[in-house]
Amino acid sequence: MHPVKLLARLVAVLLVALPTFAALPSPAAAGRKRIVVVLGEQRVYAYEGDTVVFTTRANVRGAKRGTFRIQNKIAMAKSSALGWKLPYWMGIYYVGRIQNGFHGYSIRANGGLAANSLGCIVMPTSAAAWLYRWASVGTPVTIR
């Protein structure tokens, strides 16, 4: 397979096509909670005020720097490209019509797990479950 086609297929593996939501809750709706992703450390930090209440390692390869908000949450999303399951999905930004976000290890069609990332923030499934329960739609996210 041509390298460009192979790369395009790989990029699509962990990206999910989701509808755009017109209105997001205000920052006040998320309280003082916020999530910070530090690319150089490959870590995710959950804050309440100035206190770190949770941290985990994550594969952040290809994630886009910026300030975002959690746009939607799906307990078990599905990759639009390969049909892989994406546990504890929280979408944060779009690349064209494809959305990237947080999720646990991808579950392949054969049941195997994949921790690779080409834009999403992929973490151990137990960590993704914690973050999913803790955060709400509208929670601020900074990727730096």
pLDDT digits 0-9 by tens, 95-134: 988 899 999 998 988 888 888 787 899 999 999 999 999 9
- pLDDT-derived band at 12, boundaries 50, 70, 90: very low
- pLDDT-derived band at 31, boundaries 50, 70, 90: low
CATH number of 3-17+24-143, picked from 3.10.129.10, 2.60.40.1190, 2.40.440.10, 1.20.950.20: 2.40.440.10
Long-range contacts of 86-89 (CB under 8 A, 24+ apart): 86/14, 86/16, 86/120, 87/125, 87/128, 87/129, 88/125, 88/128, 88/129, 88/131, 88/132, 89/16
pTM for this entry: 0.77
- pLDDT-derived band at 84, boundaries 50, 70, 90: confident
Q: Domain residues of the chain, as ranges?
A: 3-17+24-143
- pLDDT-derived band at 24, boundaries 50, 70, 90: very low
Highest mean pLDDT of the ranges 1-10, 29-38, 56-65, 80-89: 56-65
Residue 21 to residue 32: CA distance in whole angstroms? 23
Q: What is the average per-residue pLDDT within 81-95?
A: 91
Q: Above pLDDT 90, what percent of the chain?
A: 62
C-alpha angle 12-15-20 in degrees, rounded to nearest 5: 125
